[in-house]
Structure 1
Amino acid sequence: MDTEQKGWRQHNETNSLADVHSSVQVPVGAGFFKTLKAYLGPGLMVAVGYMDPGNWATDIAGGAQFGYRLLSVVLISNLFAILLQHLALKLGIATGRDLAQACRDHYSHPVAFGLWLLAEIAIAATDLAEVIGSAIALNLLFGLPLTIGILITVLDVLLLLFLQNKGFQLIERIVASLIFLIVACFGYELLVSQPSVRDIVDGLLPRPEIVTNPGMLYIAIGILGATVMPHNLYLHSSIVQTRDFGRDNAGRKSAIKFATIDSTVSLFLAFFINAAILILAAAAFHTTGNQQVADITDAYHLLEPILGVKMAGILFAVALLASGQNSTLTGTLAGQIVMEGFLHLQIKPWLRRLITRLVAVVPALVVAILYGEQGTSELLVLSQVILSLQLSFAVVPLVKFTCDKVKMGPFVNPAWMKSLSWLVAVVIITLNLYLLWDTLL
């Protein structure tokens, strides 16, 4: 029996994202860099989820209130992300299944259906952050009311439909271009804000008060939820299969190596952006007595007068708009993967996108009308807490599958990685239980 089919309750019947499966050619017998070039792309698409507007809200709040002290949480979250995305890509390459298909093929129908519902909630929360972030950016740049900006975000369904028809690598290139635009904007912001290098280095070291201070812990868990995204685990396990690598053990081993390099380098880019947002908030707000700044709109309006640089606010909003549009592209694919993988249900991508976007638009629109900017900012932070609570239900199956010798064959996690993976899973579960307890009581 094929390695891909061992150890599962049922056989995998379809390829993940069948229309683009194995569509990107990988050169045979080429050198290291030519081969790596063929694998570059999926990592950047995954990294997008680690720099979406939800991250901005939690990073700004953390930097403004607590200075550089939560930088260690951003770093630890990023290291968690590197490990978990490695497991996701390894699952996809080794078994020929994305995480959604693996859950469907392993668990009973009721359990798989429950996991599907939780995944859909996570994607809706992600989409909510994208809708609000894009609407805020349009408001800041062009003065459009939040309600109009939220309605405009529905139109990106047409944009995605157009791009999907032009090939998978075009989407990857657009995502990469927008990421480098965001990096350039924040590189400039850091230069003009002149943060303390000593405080940055000190902030990268974990400290006990992160756990003992309830306010700091709440934002720290929000950063974790905003950084390690549940939908990214489903996404990555699928899009690595767009590469046309050899479906034997040698081909899979090579694919895992190059996909891991792509993923790790891309996630360090995401770390730079998240750290830059928190550092900018610490340098511009915390050290100037503006610790009350806790949302994107306040940050935009205060950057220019505090830093004394005219372009500071504009580039901040441009980066936010690029972040929201980037997340739109990858969030759509994740929604398609989850629905097809769990339910074996294929619907037209534009219809799937429209349904997902409307689920996010309705609450965002209601809150914008009733509570204005303050309400939408609080909704943005809440969406990240929801994501954090959903994370365990994607992480535990992923760790379980990749630690299973029968399912993974020669690609099963080695002993040290098994221990580390379960430790990360336990930390995530513990933090989420604490957050749930604290929220309810």
Structure 2
Amino acid sequence: MSALSESPFLNSWYKLKKFAAFIGPGIIISVAFADAGNYSTAVSAGGMFEYKLLFIIFLSNIFAVILQCLCIKLGTITGLDLAEMCRLHLPYHLNLFMYVCAELAIIATDLAEVVGTAIALEILFGIPLVYGVIITVLDVLIVLMAYHKDGSMKQTRVFEIVVSVLVFATCLCFILELFKCDFKDGSVGDIFKGFLPFNREIYKDANALFLSCGIVGSTVMPHSLYLGSSLVNSRLKDYDIKHGFLRQQVNEDGLLEENSSIVTTEQPLEATHNKFRSISDGTLLARKYKPSYPAIKHCLNYSYIELCISLLLIAVFINSAILIVAGCTLYGKPDAEDADLLSIYEMLSYYISPAAGLIFALSMLFSGQSAGIVCTMAGQIISEGFINWTLQPWIRRIITRVLAIVPVVIVILALGREGVSKIMNTSQVILSFILPVVSAPLIWFTCSKKLMTVYDYQPSNPNPDENSLLLNHSGEQRAIPSESNNNVRKITFENGTALTVGSIISWLIITFLNVYLIYLFSIGVQV
């Protein structure tokens, strides 16, 4: 290799080009942290406490980064998403309970997306809320026609681009909104102080603690955990196919074709048989693609970096911008404390300008559409991962969305505009209860040395004979090392001490805040 090819400039350029290929999943995940539920809690926080709760937004995103890093690790090392891991390794009844919780989380999340989009349609086009809710079915139909969770890299990139465009449109709306705000002298310093955890007065205020719970509950969304563990799969498969580790592509169901083989990675025969016996429902999960060690080595760190940058830039910016706009415009104003999404639009139009209200409505439309698409993707991952459905995918996805839309229509018809606020609060309670439940298996799986183990085999003979080939748990042939072969390495990726402690502490804090939020809702306190 020449000195030129080893230059720091070319090396940096190669790494930057490689990183660009990983941009996408983190942006999609960040959508889950910028939906109508976030709008409601962030605006209330800004209207009541100005910029003082910005630290809670930053902290909640740190929790999200920790959990999403665990999701990336789980999907990268095992080749399975969180729902599939629950189905493969949890007892039947516990898996069924987890599935019910996950589906409830999807329905509750859909409620917020449906309401936010419907309100935006009413503001922008004068469409009544009920009709706006029904129109939101269209985004699901588009996703159903185009998306497959085990699809090709090209298909995945198309979805990432579509969602990214909507996300950046949302960011642009809030950039314009910030420029329209009339900040007072010293406001910039107050904004930076808001990101620091040194304001003791806030922690003594019951309303501030309540809103902190709401911010955490609406930021670390349960469905994003299933989504984050699934999105990494396409790039891993793409690497293995291009480098010959996966001799034939997986079929449209994400399963290895009957003659495909992987020659770089394998578990010992005993472990393989035990894994086969653990699949009591006769599903084909064990036939799913498992990444090779070279693919893991190529993708894992870049996936971490892309996720952290996306969440800490996009998700933190959007949520912070909502709170800053509300703090600048609504703080100290009458009725700001009880503002819902429609009244927020009205107050922005009145206190700043009609254009500011219009931009806010556009941001809700863009975020609602992107979040609706992402929620539909997560719903597909959950339904296909937990349960061996016999229904066609498009049928079960339509059923999930209808279950979310029907309650919204009934409540709007019965209670009108007041019902919109109530159903938003209800969805937050449901998500707050479910989050600790669905995140616990994620931490347990990634702390398990047994589950987070990869076998890297570098065959000395590039054309192994029949004696060096054994059938794996699904009947495909894989080259595995004999007892006398020393060219096999066992690499473990279980969580280290720091990550284990950090994830458990995050789980405990999230659980405490969400339980406290449920308690506050039970005694009648509302955002």
Alpha-carbon spacing, 1:288–1:355, altered in 2? closer, same or farther (3 Å): same
Q: Distance in 2 between matches of 1:318 and 1:205?
A: 31
* 1:175 partnered with 2:163: yes
Alpha-carbon spacing, 1:35–1:347, altered in 2? closer, same or farther (3 Å): farther
Aligned 8 A contact 2:214 2:517 in 1: no
Aligned 8 A contact 2:432 2:517 in 1: no
Bigger mean CA offset, 164-173 vs 185-194: 164-173
Which residue identity is paired with 1:173? I
**TM-score normalised by length of structure 1:** 0.89
Alpha-carbon spacing, 1:290–1:334, altered in 2? closer, same or farther (3 Å): same
SS at match of 1:68: coil
Which of 1 and 2 has greater Rg? 2
Q: Distance in 2 between matches of 1:435 and 1:161?
A: 35
2:174 corresponds, among 166, 179, 186, to 186
How far off is 1:185 after superposition? 0.6
2:239 corresponds, among 227, 242, 245, to 245
Q: Unaligned stretches of 5+ in structure 1?
A: 1-29
Aligned 8 A contact 1:182 1:319 in 2: yes
Query: What is the 5 A alignment of 1:26-105?
Result: 31-105=14-88
SS at match of 1:31: helix
More helix by share: 1
Alpha-carbon spacing, 1:182–1:217, altered in 2? closer, same or farther (3 Å): same
SS at match of 2:452: helix
Structure 1 match to 2:320: 275
Structure 2 match to 1:4: none
Alpha-carbon spacing, 1:301–1:394, altered in 2? closer, same or farther (3 Å): same
Q: Unaligned stretches of 5+ in structure 2?
A: 1-12, 149-153, 241-290, 454-491
**TM-score normalised by length of structure 2:** 0.75
SS at match of 2:127: coil
Aligned 8 A contact 1:304 1:313 in 2: yes
Structure 1 match to 2:144: 161
Which residue identity is paired with 1:333? M
How far off is 1:439 after superposition? 3.7
SS at match of 2:450: helix
Q: Distance in 2 between matches of 1:288 and 1:57?
A: 17
Which residue identity is paired with 1:199? D
4+ aligned runs moved over 4 Å, structure 1: 208-211, 287-290
Q: Distance in 1 between matches of 2:209 and 2:43?
A: 15
Query: What is the 5 A alignment of 1:235-384?
Result: 235-243=227-235, 244-246=238-240, 247-268=291-312, 269-307=314-352, 309-345=353-389, 347-384=391-428
Aligned 8 A contact 1:60 1:293 in 2: no
Aligned 8 A contact 2:217 2:514 in 1: no
Which residue identity is paired with 2:92? H
1:199 corresponds, among 190, 202, 205, to 190
Aligned residues: 411
Which residue identity is paired with 1:305? Y
Structure 2 match to 1:23: none
Q: Deviations over 1:377-412 (max 9, x none)?
A: 232133123212111012111111111111113211
Aligned 8 A contact 1:95 1:408 in 2: yes
How far off is 1:435 after superposition? 2.7
Structure 2 match to 1:20: none
Structure 2 match to 1:3: none
Q: Distance in 1 between matches of 2:452 and 2:415?
A: 50
Which residue identity is paired with 1:423? I
Superposition CA RMSD, Å:
1.8
Alpha-carbon spacing, 1:173–1:346, altered in 2? closer, same or farther (3 Å): farther
SS at match of 2:416: helix
Aligned 8 A contact 2:25 2:307 in 1: yes
